[in-house]
């Protein structure tokens, strides 16, 4: 309203504002992020909130809004009573999709932070926070639009045409009219050949298209039965029933003494009565049947023996006290709990959570997906009972949604789950625990490429919550931050637990030099030491875990005549032979083709299989130890739902002697009779082109070694390797994290890698190499230019990072170079790496350069993937 308008009386009585006021209505506008992940729509759009929806719309609501010609799902990210736009141009919010907003203002802020930090569209970040069941689904509805007689005069031609509708058209109109609105898909199913007629009817305006957001939140409904009269009446009426209605009589008597409603299913089972009897009585009006929403509880009917807090050891107490104090102060703190395997970290978690709950606050527990086993869940369910919601990928979409719903409705105060559980919509968050914080699975590989650890710290800092990062082998980034010296990042507090509970010794570790074995004439994949050890375990009826971080049968297949290696035609990677299916498979694009009988290149039949995979180890075990019972666990045997747990249960029940698998056998398993762990080839990870290769090797070896001798029986570990002197292997064999850390930090410093700098990886992919090189080079130039113009100083020389002072800002773009796997699914891949240190908004700079590339992306089908790894400086 203008100033003049405010002083002129006539204007005061004009306009929608006043009209609204007269009817006691408030003007309310919602800022909505719509479900279109594109640069141009990556901002809020304003909508009018109609009066009847005002009490339902809040920041965090999921709404259906008209957007251009269609209706889209969107999230409300702001509410206000004014708008910067001409209010006359605004459209109204059409639908509110949930009774309770699925997000809250804090999560909406977090999404904005994520979109900036990880360079993604805001809608992508918002979508990542809600369960898949709430993902938008759109539906075209056909509705009846009005009588043709309403057409204005003068359009007689049109009318005449309309009156000439065919009987089939009449049928369609009648059908739609009767139903009110019909999904277009359903209509075409009913009238399969009607698409042309439908188009005519739509053009004539007799029918209309309505786009709406289909509501996928299907709460499960169950029928409940209860008495519809008082006890006396029920008994009285029971007597009046005929002798033939024996079941009904029974039911009446039962409900006379049953004031509470009962689920129909339970009733029919308990009283051995058919639903028909209930229906008959309901029709007579003596019973009432209602629909009730229920939760699909995947743990329904399972009894969890209640456990009480265990007395803490001195060491556990040493860790618990500072956490407890921070909780008490309601202060945001991050603790790094460095505890060797078996030191009792879980009990510290449990008691910290208990304290958090006692304060009326809520807790999130993140665990790697793979260790989200029934045993793990059981420990939490046993302590906190129904206050726990469990979220993992093995749940059906509906189950997942129901668990999640319990958070919003305050039925639970603890969530345990994998990565995405960090977004649990709690409003009084007090504690976030991240178990095995070094695990790579906390990093999401698709957009938004977030790291759950970083998101957790971000969330906690806004809520005054405590974060506990637990690990036996903390990531260098986290460990470095306990020594933080930079001004703008607060340090993590280190808590250490060095001893195993009850003083159980760490297992003895033998490093086996495979070169020596070869010299001695042992060409088998098992060293003599490991062979003997397995044999011994078979005799003693103890169990063995074998780790080989490579699935399939053999890693590559080569022709010995010409040296041809069978490769994937779509990816630059050799194919792996799978014995079970007798196929060659690509582990990157999933291609599967029959094994070659002769060399595709020279037709020779001298084809040999090189490299060992889990399938081959399994076969070999069977040959060496006839009758041995082996469970193989890798992606190929655990893809089926519940297979993972089934295999572990079998092993636990001692239905197998050996558990053989890829890294998934290394994580968090705890079997009392496992006394031997064998690592078939420790170097598989070590030589990957990854600056974290040594760290990953150390972590993997330490984790898997921790699987042996966790209970009464002492454990033994064999690590087979061709590089027995490598520091990651040597230090892992001594369970010596401190020494590993020291050496690895020195390596990182020399090479200029995290935690001495932050990294961002930018990958480009395209079907043609020239395009890719041009784009990558142009990107790098523009990025360097941006840095220069920011006036932050000259880019240092290459390698200049080494030995630089702690506070010196640094920025360098490396590349573009071909990616480690130069082609996947027929697309070539190049990458640039940005190394920097200091408080530089690199994400912002990259986002701007990427935005300038948008046209290229559209026209040339160039794909730019940006992987932001905000690391920690030392």
**Residues at the annotated binding site for Zn(2+)?**
559, 562, 568, 571, 586, 589, 599, 602
Is 167 near DNA (CB under 7 A)?
no
Min dist CB 49 to DNA, Å, is 11
CA–CA dist 297, 54 (Å, integer): 33
Q: Which is nearer to DNA, 45 or 564 (CB)?
A: 45
Residue from 2, 10, 52, 859 touching DNA (CB under 7 A): that is 859
Is 47 near DNA (CB under 7 A)?
yes
Question: Which residue has tokens 């509970």?
Answer: 501
Which of 622, 472, 611 shows the shortest CA–CA distance to 548?
611
Supply φ then ψ for residue 313, to 5 degrees: -75, 165
Is 861 near DNA (CB under 7 A)?
no
CA–CA dist 733, 506 (Å, integer): 10
Count CB atoms within 10 A of the CB of residue 204.
17
Is 38 near DNA (CB under 7 A)?
yes
Helix (H, G, I), strand (E, B) or coil at 11: helix
Q: Which is nearer to DNA, 128 or 412 (CB)?
A: 128
Residue 621: its H or E element: helix 614-624
CA–CA dist 139, 210 (Å, integer): 8
Which of 40, 46, 100 shows the shortest CA–CA distance to 76?
46
Is 70 near DNA (CB under 7 A)?
yes
Q: Which is nearer to DNA, 89 or 798 (CB)?
A: 89
Distance of CA 862 to the CA centre of its chain: 27
Binding residues are 559, 562, 568, 571, 586, 589, 599, 602
Q: Which is nearer to DNA, 74 or 425 (CB)?
A: 74
Min dist CB 276 to DNA, Å, is 48
Min dist CB 184 to DNA, Å, is 12
Is 635 near DNA (CB under 7 A)?
no
Is 68 near DNA (CB under 7 A)?
yes
Is 653 near DNA (CB under 7 A)?
no
Min dist CB 46 to DNA, Å, is 3
CA–CA dist 469, 474 (Å, integer): 8
Q: Which is nearer to DNA, 57 or 757 (CB)?
A: 57
Is 20 near DNA (CB under 7 A)?
no
Is 765 near DNA (CB under 7 A)?
no
Query: Which tokens is 199 given?
Result: 């188009």
Query: Which tokens is 210 given?
Result: 């309505």
Is 235 near DNA (CB under 7 A)?
no
Q: Which is nearer to DNA, 138 or 814 (CB)?
A: 138
Min dist CB 100 to DNA, Å, is 25
Region binding DNA by CB under 7 A among candidate stretches 62-70, 527-535, 734-742, 842-850: 62-70
Is 791 near DNA (CB under 7 A)?
no
CA–CA dist 409, 334 (Å, integer): 28
Between the alpha carbon of residue 435 and those of residues 343, 470, 869, the distances in Å are: 13, 5, 20
CA–CA dist 207, 17 (Å, integer): 35
Helix (H, G, I), strand (E, B) or coil at 263: strand
For residues 319-328, one letter each, b for 16 or more C-beta atoms within 10 angstroms of the residue's C-beta and e for the rest, the string is bbebbbebbe
Residue from 40, 52, 156, 653 touching DNA (CB under 7 A): that is 40
DSSP state of 25: P
# of chain residues touching DNA (CB under 7 A): 20
Region binding DNA by CB under 7 A among candidate stretches 54-62, 82-90, 670-678, 863-871: 82-90
Min dist CB 51 to DNA, Å, is 16
CA–CA dist 705, 717 (Å, integer): 6
With a CB cutoff of 8 Å and minimum separation 6, the contacts of 410 are none
Residue from 10, 52, 89, 597 touching DNA (CB under 7 A): that is 89
Min dist CB 225 to DNA, Å, is 45
Min dist CB 36 to DNA, Å, is 5
For residues 93-104, one letter each, b for 16 or more C-beta atoms within 10 angstroms of the residue's C-beta and e for the rest, the string is bbebbbeebbbb
Q: Which is nearer to DNA, 83 or 486 (CB)?
A: 83
CA–CA dist 612, 593 (Å, integer): 19
Please check whether residue 212 is in contact with residue 67, taking contact to mean a CB–CB distance below 8 angstroms: no
CA–CA dist 835, 798 (Å, integer): 11
Is 45 near DNA (CB under 7 A)?
yes
Min dist CB 61 to DNA, Å, is 16
Is 770 near DNA (CB under 7 A)?
no
Is 41 near DNA (CB under 7 A)?
yes
Is 37 near DNA (CB under 7 A)?
yes
Is 464 near DNA (CB under 7 A)?
no
CA–CA dist 790, 841 (Å, integer): 10
Is 36 near DNA (CB under 7 A)?
yes
Q: Which is nearer to DNA, 93 or 548 (CB)?
A: 93
Q: Which is nearer to DNA, 46 or 758 (CB)?
A: 46
Min dist CB 93 to DNA, Å, is 9
Residue from 33, 61, 67, 697 touching DNA (CB under 7 A): that is 67
Q: Footprint of DNA on residues 501-560 (CB under 7 A)?
A: none
Query: Which tokens is 710 given?
Result: 């966790």
Which of 78, 77, 86 shows the shortest CA–CA distance to 35?
77
Residue from 46, 94, 436, 454 touching DNA (CB under 7 A): that is 46
Query: Residue by residue, what is the 3-state secondary structure of 65-113?
Result: EEECCEEEEEEEEEEECCCCCCHHHCEECCEECCCCCCCCHHHHHHHHH
Is 855 near DNA (CB under 7 A)?
yes
Q: Where does this chain bind DNA (CB under 7 A)? A: 36-38, 40-41, 45-48, 66-70, 85, 89-91, 855, 859
């Amino acid at each position: 309203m203008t100033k003049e308008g405010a002083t002129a009386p006539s204007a005061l009585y004009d306009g929608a504002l006043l009209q609204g006021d007269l009817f006691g209505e408030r003007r309310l506008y919602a800022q909505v992020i719509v479900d279109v992940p594109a640069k141009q729509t990556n901002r809020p759009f304003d909508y009018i909130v109609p009066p009847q929806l005002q009490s339902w719309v809040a920041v965090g609501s999921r709404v259906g809004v008209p957007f251009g010609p269609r209706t889209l799902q969107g999230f409300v990210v702001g509410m206000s009573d004014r708008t910067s736009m001409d209010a006359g141009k605004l459209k109204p919010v059409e639908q509110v999709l949930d009774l309770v907003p699925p997000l809250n203002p804090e999560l909406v802020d977090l999404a904005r932070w994520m979109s900036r930090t990880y360079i993604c569209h805001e809608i992508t970040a918002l979508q990542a926070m809600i369960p898949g069941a709430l993902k938008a689904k759109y539906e075209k509805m056909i509705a009846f639009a009005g009588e043709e007689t309403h057409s204005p005069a003068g359009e007689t031609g049109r009318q005449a045409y309309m009156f000439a509708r065919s009987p089939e058209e009449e049928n369609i109109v009648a059908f739609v009219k009767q139903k009110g609105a019909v999904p277009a898909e359903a209509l075409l199913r009913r009238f399969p050949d009607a698409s042309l007629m439908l188009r005519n009817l739509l053009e004539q305006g007799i029918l209309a298209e309505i786009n709406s957001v289909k509501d996928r939140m299907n709460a499960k409904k169950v029928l409940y039965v209860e008495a519809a009269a008082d006890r006396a009446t029920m008994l009285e009426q029971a007597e009046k029933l005929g002798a033939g209605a024996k079941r009904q009589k029974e039911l009446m008597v039962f409900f006379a003494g049953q004031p509470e409603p009962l689920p129909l299913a339970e009733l029919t089972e308990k009283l051995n009565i058919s639903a028909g009897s209930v229906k008959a009585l309901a029709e007579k009006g003596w019973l009432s049947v209602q629909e009730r929403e229920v939760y699909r509880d995947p743990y329904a009917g399972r009894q969890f023996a209640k456990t009480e807090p265990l007395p803490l050891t001195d060491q556990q107490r040493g860790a618990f006290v500072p956490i407890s104090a921070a909780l008490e102060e309601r202060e945001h703190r991050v603790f790094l709990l460095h505890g060797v395997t078996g030191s009792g970290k879980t009990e510290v978690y449990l008691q910290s959570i208990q304290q958090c709950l006692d304060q009326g606050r809520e807790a999130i527990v993140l665990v790697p997906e793979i260790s989200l086993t029934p045993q793990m869940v059981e420990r939490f369910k046993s302590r906190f009972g129904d206050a726990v919601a469990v979220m993992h990928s093995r749940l059906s979409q509906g189950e997942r949604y129901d668990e999640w719903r319990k958070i919003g409705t305050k039925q639970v105060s603890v969530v345990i789950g994998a990565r995405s559980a960090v977004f649990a919509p709690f409003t009084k968050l007090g504690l976030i625990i991240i178990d095995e914080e070094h695990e790579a699975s906390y990093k999401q590989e698709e957009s938004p490429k977030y790291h759950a650890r970083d998101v957790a710290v971000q969330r906690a800092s806004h809520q005054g919550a405590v974060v506990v990062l637990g690990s036996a082998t903390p990531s260098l980034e986290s460990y470095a931050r306990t020594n933080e010296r930079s001004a703008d990042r607060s340090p993590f507090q280190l808590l250490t637990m060095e001893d195993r509970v009850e003083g159980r010794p760490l297992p003895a570790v033998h490093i086996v030099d495979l070169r020596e074995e070869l010299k001695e004439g042992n060409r088998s994949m098992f060293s003599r030491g490991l062979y003997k050890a397995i044999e011994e375990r078979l005799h003693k009826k103890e169990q063995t875990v074998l780790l080989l971080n490579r699935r399939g049968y053999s890693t590559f297949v080569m022709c010995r005549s010409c040296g041809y290696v069978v490769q994937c035609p779509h990816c630059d990677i050799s194919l792996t032979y799978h014995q079970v299916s007798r196929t060659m498979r690509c582990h990157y694009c999933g291609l599967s083709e029959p094994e070659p009988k002769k060399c595709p290149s020279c037709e020779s039949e001298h084809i040999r299989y090189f490299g060992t995979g889990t399938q081959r180890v399994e076969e070999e075990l069977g040959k060496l130890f006839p009758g041995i019972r082996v469970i193989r666990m890798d992606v190929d045997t655990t893809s089926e739902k519940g297979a993972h747990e089934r295999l572990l249960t079998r092993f636990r029940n001692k239905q197998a002697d050996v558990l053989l698998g890829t890294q998934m056998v290394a994580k968090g398993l705890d079997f009392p009779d496992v006394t031997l762990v064998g690592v078939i080839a420790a170097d598989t990870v070590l030589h990957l082109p990854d600056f974290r290769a040594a760290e990953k090797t150390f972590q993997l070896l330490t984790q898997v070694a921790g699987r042996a001798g966790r209970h009464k029986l002492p454990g033994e570990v064999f690590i087979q390797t061709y590089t027995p002197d490598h520091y990651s292997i040597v230090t892992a064999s001594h369970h010596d994290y401190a020494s590993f850390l020291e050496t690895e930090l020195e390596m990182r410093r020399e090479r200029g890698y995290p935690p001495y700098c932050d990294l961002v990886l930018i990958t480009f992919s395209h079907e043609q190499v020239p395009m890719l090189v041009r784009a990558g080079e142009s990107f790098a130039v523009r990025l360097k230019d941006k840095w220069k113009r920011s006036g932050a100083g000259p880019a240092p020389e290459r390698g200049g990072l080494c030995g630089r002072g702690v506070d010196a800002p640094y920025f360098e773009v490396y590349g573009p170079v071909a990616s480690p796997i130069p082609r996947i699914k027929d697309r070539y891949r190049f990458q640039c790496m940005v190394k920097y240190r200091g408080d530089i908004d690199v994400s912002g700079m990259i986002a701007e350069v990427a935005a300038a590339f948008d046209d290229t992306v559209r026209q040339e089908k160039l794909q730019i993937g940006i992987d932001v790894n905000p690391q920690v400086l030392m």
